[in-house]
Amino acid sequence: MSLPLPDRHTFYAGRPQPSSTSSGTFQSIDPSTAQPVCSIHTSSTSSIDSAISAAKSAFPSWSSTPPIERSRILLKAVSLLRARNDELARIETIDTGKPFSETSTVDVVTGADVLEYFANLVASGGLNGEAFRLRDSAWVYTTNEPLGVCAGIGAWNYPIQIALWKSAPCLSAGNTMVYKPSEVTPLHAQFLAQIYREAGLPDGVFNVVYGAGEVGGYLTKHPDIAKVSFTGQVSTGRKVAGAAAGEMKYVTMELGGKSPVIVLPDANVEQAVDGAMMANFFSTGQVCTNGTRVFIPAAMKSAFEKTLLSKIKYIRAGDLADPNTNFGPLVSKLHYEKVVSYIRHGTDKDKARLLCGGPGQPSNLPSNLKNGFWVTPTVFTDCTDEMKIVKEEIFGPVMTILTYTNLDEAVRRANNTELGLAAGVFGKDINEAHRVIKQLQAGITWVNTWGESPAEMAVGGWKQSGVGVENGRKGLEAWVRNKSTLVEMGGEVPTVFTEPITSKL
């Protein structure tokens, strides 16, 4: 793959459409080296209007295409995604800074899984409604109708996966989409659009616009957009949801978290440490479901920390193409500065004890990567609930260890947050684990594992962490609207407007 890549332009009506030069450009940056990869042309309002118009024009035909035929096209796209997995994974690595060992086994794969799931679901009757007899002369049936033109606004941490998580149920249900990738990681979008087109998706069914918040805001308020699906931080999600709700649009919001990991007193320490590390350092900690508040029994603290320190060496930063590398840089300079500021705050202001890591770069980093946005995996211990690093979402490789004396206390403290995206429990007593999970206020929960979200599993946050769910059967419901029809078969139209009854005296 030769760099830099060709410029990216608004994609609609089946091909890239150059925007006016006055709309401006921005760059995709390789986070591992801080070098530019590609210039992206911001979509002008006229280009966005054209993309929405293309989607609107394509909707009548696509929505009336039988689900089995839509499924065949989308399953062909699945085959293309799987055949080009490594090529697309390299694009994701360049764009996000994730190691190829991760992008090649998770990002494209899990996105294709979701597209395959929804394509098969609609092909096998997943859009069917219900029918029942109301009385001898009447019956009722319901249908699930597509919404129309939908907007998908992606996040920067799992670009192609999120694009597929949004477009898969959207297109399977018969809607069309205008998709805006994050301006931080936009490279995947045109590749996905081209794959859809090659698979046989009609022109205008999937379109791409580029830009920052103002582009997302324009999409959200546009009168021809029926639904907005957004993934991102809570503050932005509130604005998007508010704007969409004000226009009576459907919304799905997948927002941030400050998720707890509760280690039960009977847990295997080594397994608990493995789970906590996956919950904090996978994808360099840039995962919305990260379990950054690790609650452990006070009696286990010494053993837990000792085991954790012995395993930190297995986090390997370096050449992102090396299959042994399992830890990359942060996604951008701005985000790097944010995470480093939290780490400094943890030591300087919160006065938490730094068990390992800190604001510096990982040791033994190759010289050609020194200018990248690298930070060392960091663990704070002796933490308390009121610390900023414990309360606020950092979105980086920063673990905070908190101790507890009894489980009721741990649960109460774990729930003491306005966020409720994910939570997890590690322990041998499965009944106790279920008891604790039931009390945790989160929409996604795990027992003795962390992070897996298969296509069949509906996921979504509670409280300020989101509205609605993605994936699973429930995820398809978010992309259709119900129509109920009552059929009267009695041969007469019921009416109260008849001749008055004449009384006979």
- Supply the residues annotated as catalytic: 254
Angle at 10 between CA 5 and CA 13, to 5 degrees: 120
Using omega within 30 degrees of 0 as the cis cutoff, is the peptide bond preceding 4 cis?
A: yes
Place of tokens 């500021």: 341
Place of tokens 């045109």: 190
What Cα–Cα distance (Å) separates residue 170 from each residue in 229, 293, 357? Answer: 10, 34, 42
Residue 464, token pair as written in the block? 């300020």
Which residues in 55-137 belong to E strands, given as ranges? 131-135
Check: CB of residue 476 under 8 Å from CB of residue 169: yes
Task: Report d(CA 273, CA 286) in Å as an integer.
Answer: 19
Check: CB of residue 150 under 8 Å from CB of residue 225: yes
Task: Report d(CA 279, CA 216) in Å as an integer.
Answer: 30
Contacts of 91 (CB under 8 A, 6+ apart): 1, 160, 187, 188, 191
Which residues in 182-299 belong to E strands, given as ranges? 206-208, 227-231, 250-254, 260-263, 293-297
Longest dimension (CA), the chain: 110
Place of tokens 């309360």: 391
**First and final CA of the chain: distance in angstroms?**
99
Phi, psi of 36 (to 5 degrees): -70, 145
The H-or-E segment that residue 12 falls in is strand 11-12
Beta bridge partners of 26: 40
The bridge status of strand 260-263 relative to strand 422-426 is parallel
Torsion of CA 174, 196, 210, 100, to 10 degrees: 130
Closest Cα to residue 376, out of 349, 350, 396, 346? Answer: 396
DSSP code string of 364-425 = T--GGGTTS---EEEEEES--TTSHHHHS---SSEEEEEEESSHHHHHHHHT-SSEESEEEE
